[in-house]
């Protein structure tokens, strides 16, 4: 199984260099495709001079994460599409570990890797968990990597460390390009599950995640984009018409209230309204097995307080 590694970057020249250096040490045969969202920071020159073997796709404008991944996947032909954030330094066995579940089970369409916080003592994310209201949480966040077997129900991979079977990715149309950043991996995993594909975890596929290097942690842009994605997902997947509506509304009311109290802004509300409108009319049936029913309201609030 051949892998195309797609790395999306935007104004991340320095972290990208480290990311590519680590990908050069992979034990698995692969092709690296860097997609630049019109950075204008010398990224093209960096790749051309230091990594001439890398396939470089330069977009004329910033089209967002999902659209950039789709563009990168389109120029590749590997049976697997591996995604690595530009601020992740992958271990040498990262790609090999991600491909193992795809090789072992033809029903697996997506695989979650594990990103670690600097220092490697705590997990940044080991895939995505979804609560009853479809809020997404980084699985195993802040816990020890040794606790991987008790990480909770895996909905699917996070876009920062993931592998997709190309046949599955293409069959569902890849990422929805309406979502600029955040939530696109949740939407994709739900569409893959709805199409009958399974999710698997690869605890040995590890890399260190700097975090927030592209948009900035808790920046106004990050809050807007995450709110937009939240509104989009709520409508597309019919959450507010389900028995989980109260759970979802309570969690979102707390997030919006926090935005007003801390940042003196209604951006979390306005962005959700914008995302709701962008999703259009009609909703899809939420696939069975995607939601972790153990994440009750109290636990959801606890995770929100700890930055998920």
Encode pLDDT of 40-80 as tens digits: 899 999 999 999 999 999 999 999 999 999 999 999 999 99
When computed from its CA atoms, the radius of gyration of the chain, rounded to whole angstroms, is 18
Q: What is the pLDDT of residue 301?
A: 86
Report pLDDT digits (tens) over 120-173: 999 999 999 999 999 999 999 999 999 999 899 999 999 999 999 999 999 999
Classify 41 in phi/psi space as left (phi over 0), alpha (psi -120 to 50) or beta: alpha
Q: What is the pLDDT of residue 212?
A: 55
CB-based contact 247:295 (threshold 8 Å): no
Q: What is the pLDDT of residue 218?
A: 65
CB-based contact 228:272 (threshold 8 Å): yes
> Which parts of 172-214 fold into alpha helices (H)?
184-194
Q: What is the pLDDT of residue 17?
A: 96
Rounded to whole angstroms, the Cα distance separating 9 from 59 reads 11
102, two tokens? 């795809």
Domain 3-209: state its class.
Answer: alpha beta
**pLDDT average, residue stretch 193-216:** 87
Give this prediction's pTM.
Answer: 0.94
Domain ranges of the chain: 3-209, 220-305
Instruction: Tell me what the pLDDT averaged over the chain comes to.
Output: 94
């Amino acid at each position: 199984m051949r892998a195309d590694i797609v790395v999306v970057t935007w104004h991340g020249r320095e972290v990208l260099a480290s990311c590519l250096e680590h990908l050069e040490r992979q034990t698995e045969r692969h092709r690296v495709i860097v997609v630049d969202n019109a950075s204008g920071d010398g990224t093209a020159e960096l790749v051309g001079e230091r990594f001439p073997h890398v396939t470089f796709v330069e977009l004329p404008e910033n089209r967002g994460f999902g659209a950039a991944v789709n563009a990168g996947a389109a120029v590749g032909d590997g049976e697997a599409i591996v995604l690595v954030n530009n601020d992740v330094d992958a271990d040498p066995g990262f790609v090999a570990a991600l491909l193992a579940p795809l090789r072992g089970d033809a029903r697996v369409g997506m695989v979650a890797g594990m990103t670690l916080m600097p220092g490697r003592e705590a997990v940044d994310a080991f895939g995505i968990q979804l609560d009853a209201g479809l809020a997404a949480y980084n699985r195993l966040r802040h816990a020890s990597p040794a606790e991987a077997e008790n990480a909770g129900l895996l909905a699917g991979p996070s876009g920062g460390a993931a592998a997709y079977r190309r046949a599955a990715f293409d069959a569902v149309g890849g990422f929805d390009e309406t979502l600029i950043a955040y939530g696109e991996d949740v939407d994709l995993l739900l569409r893959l599950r709805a199409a009958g594909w399974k999710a698997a975890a690869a605890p040995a596929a590890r890399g260190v995640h700097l975090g927030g290097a592209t948009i900035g942690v808790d920046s106004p842009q990050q809050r807007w984009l995450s709110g937009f994605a939240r509104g989009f997902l709520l409508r597309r997947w019919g959450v507010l018409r389900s028995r989980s509506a109260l759970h979802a509304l309570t969690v979102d009311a707390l997030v919006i209230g926090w935005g007003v109290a801390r940042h003196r802004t209604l951006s979390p509300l306005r962005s959700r309204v914008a995302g709701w409108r962008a999703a259009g009319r009609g909703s899809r049936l939420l696939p069975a097995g995607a939601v972790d029913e153990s994440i009750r309201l109290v636990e959801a609030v606890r995770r929100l307080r700890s930055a998920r």
